Amino acid sequence: MQAKGIAKFIDHTALSAEKTEQDILRLCDEAVENGFFSVCINSCHIPLAKQKLQGSNVKICTVVGFPLGANLSSVKAFETTEAIKAGAQEIDMVINVGWIKSGKWDDVRSDIQAVLTACNGVPLKVILETCLLSKDEIVKACEICKALNVAFVKTSTGFNKGGATVEDVALMRQIVGTLGVKASGGIRDTQTALAMIKAGATRIGASAGIAIVHGLQTNSQGY
């Protein structure tokens, strides 16, 4: 796979609280220069990114209920609506892990449905936070997402005790069939990114997009 090919998998990400407007502008420039699929940013930065990315092919992705997923469903839905009004083209929502752990699967489904309805056709990725779930819980969450026909299931926020693993990505791919699978959290080099893609990931969420692409270029020149 060429560098340009892997770049198209990447949501170039900057979600930590201290990111400045200059950081976001730089992120947008890097996304355009490297041909990344999107920038993934907090919603307050959407208007800035929209202006910066005007005329480019780079999409704007934002997060909802981030990073805990414990907001009221109505708040997640409102956050989604406002983000899309501001210019978000993809929504990454955090599932309610506490409800999963409580066995409240109907509420988990309703929570996702509320955001999906608010998306009104805008692609929705559901972040499972796999490091906090058992394999059975990952399967059940994926089954709900598949039944609701969301665009993607996603491994992680990157803000918890663990990120994406090849094993979890492969399991998610097995359950969701043709839905997208986004691997995120701890993907910092080309080798890891390629392993996730091989396991079934169709999108990579990473703040290390530049290193991933440059690593691939360096490796390919060695053959």
| Active site (annotated) includes residue 140 | no
Is residue 92 among the annotated active site residues? yes
Q: Are 9 and 202 in contact (CB under 8 A)?
A: yes
| Residue among 11, 92, 111, 168 flagged as catalytic | 92
Place of tokens 């995120």: 184
**DSSP annotation string for 142-184:** HHHHHHHT-SEEE---SSSS----HHHHHHHHHHHTTSEEEEE
Whether 198 is catalytic: no
Q: Which of these is catalytic: 52, 59, 154, 168?
A: 154
Please say whether the beta carbons of 150 and 180 come within 8 A. no
- Collapsed DSSP state (helix, strand, coil) of residue 120: coil
User: CB within 8 A of 150, min separation 6: which ones?
Assistant: 112, 116, 124, 125, 126, 179
Which three-class secondary structure state does DSSP give residue 62?
A: strand
**Residue tagged active-site, from 52, 59, 125, 182:** 182
* Catalytically annotated residues: 92, 154, 182
